[in-house]
Amino acid sequence: MPRIVLLARQGGEWAKDLQRQLSRRGFPCAVLLEGVEGEPPGKTPSLVLLELDGQSTDAVAQRLSRAGLPAYLPLIALVDRGSIARLAELNVDDFALLPGDADELAARIKRLLKETARGQVITCGDLLVDRDKSEVSLKGKAIDLTFREFQLLFFLASNPGRVFSRDFLLDKVWGYDYFGGDRTVDVHIRRLRSKIEDPTHSFIETVRNIGYRFQPQVVTPD
C-alpha cells in the first residue's frame, strides 16, 4: 500500500485534517513537522507532500534532507497562491493549493504514483534494480549493496544516458548537508562497479571532468 509523508511547517490543524482525509481515501499519511522532534520516516515512503508557502526560502532538497527523506521521491508541493510563480524554479512533480483538497490530492497522488510505478523495476541486460524491494540482481543472482550504493544506482539507472556531476549526485543521494566531499561519489561508484560489472559488461560510464552516467544499453568496455 502506498505510504505518503506530509512534510509541513509548525502550526495549523490543516495538516492533521488532511492526514485523516487522505487515509480515508486509501492513502496512509504520516505528518512530519519541521523543527519538531518526532519519529523518523522509517521505510522510504512512496510520495512526499511538501508545504511550500511564501516564507519557504530553503531549497527543497535541503528540507527533505533534514527530514531524512531522499530527494528522488515523487513530490507534490502544497502552495499558497503567492508561491505558484516559484514552482518553475523548483524540482517538484505537481502542486495543489493549500490547505489541500483531499479529493483533488488523492487524484493527483494516484496519477503520479501510476506514472512513477512504471520505473520501480529497472532492467538493463541481465541487471535488475527493484526499488520497492530495495533489491538488485545480476543474471538472476542477488547483489548485496549498502543503502547508499542502492540509492546511487537507482538514481543513475532511473535517468539513463544523463550525465551528473559529483556535486549533483552528492546533493541528490547524500543530501545537501553531507560534508564528505565528492570523492565519496567516486568511492561508491568504484564499489558499485566491482559488484555489478565484469570485463564484458559496463553499466556506469565516467564522463571525464564532469561526472557519471548510466548506460541505457549494456556496453563492452574497451
Tell me, what's the pLDDT at 206?
94
**Domains within the chain, CATH numbers bracketed:** 4-117 (3.40.50.2300), 121-219 (1.10.10.10)
33 close to 9: Cβ distance less than 8 angstroms: yes
Mean pLDDT of the chain: 80
Whether omega before 99 lies within 30 degrees of 0, making that bond cis, reads: yes
Q: What is the pTM of this model?
A: 0.56
6 close to 15: Cβ distance less than 8 angstroms: yes
Q: What share of the chain is helix, strand, coil (3-state, %, to 5)?
A: 35, 25, 40
If pLDDT is split at 50, 70 and 90, which confidence band does 131 have? confident
If pLDDT is split at 50, 70 and 90, which confidence band does 23 have? very high
Q: What is the 3-state secondary structure (H, E, C) of 94-113?
A: EEEECCCCHHHHHHHHHHHH
Chain segment 149-187, per-residue pLDDT in tens: 988 999 899 888 899 999 888 877 876 555 567 788 999
